[in-house]
Amino acid sequence: MSETETNTLPSVGDEVMEGKTRAVVTDVRGGVVWLRHLAGGTTEWPAENPMRLKIRRTRAEMIEAGDL
């Protein structure tokens, strides 16, 4: 797990931390990063500050680990 602050926007499917909330990036529209709780659900919300999201695992890392 990298769990480092990004200088670029995370990609769709990346697992991120927004503060103490674990989430997955569901979409990036016009520079707005949309998140959903990692545990599931249908509620999405825009990231407060996309550049401060901490990437826990990229989508590629989750696929490699067999988690997707």
- Residue range of the domain that includes 19: 4-64
**Residue 27 in this model has a pLDDT that exceeds 90:** yes
Is the pLDDT assigned to residue 1 strictly greater than 80? no
- Cβ contacts of 40 within 8 Å, gap of 6 or more: none
Q: What is the pTM of this model?
A: 0.82
Which ranges constitute the DSSP H helices of the chain? Answer: 59-64
Confidence bin at 7 (pLDDT 50/70/90)? low
Specify the pLDDT at position 22.
95
Q: How far apart are CA 9 and CA 11, in angstroms?
A: 6
Domain count, the chain: 1
d(CA 4, CA 29): 23
Measure the CA–CA gap between 49 and 14, rounded to whole angstroms.
Answer: 16
Instruction: Judge contact between 59 and 18, C-beta under 8 A.
Output: no
The pLDDT confidence band at residue 5, using thresholds 50, 70 and 90, is low
What average pLDDT score do residues 56-67 get?
94
Q: What is the CATH number of the domain that holds 18?
A: 2.30.30
Q: What is the mean pLDDT of residues 41-66?
A: 93
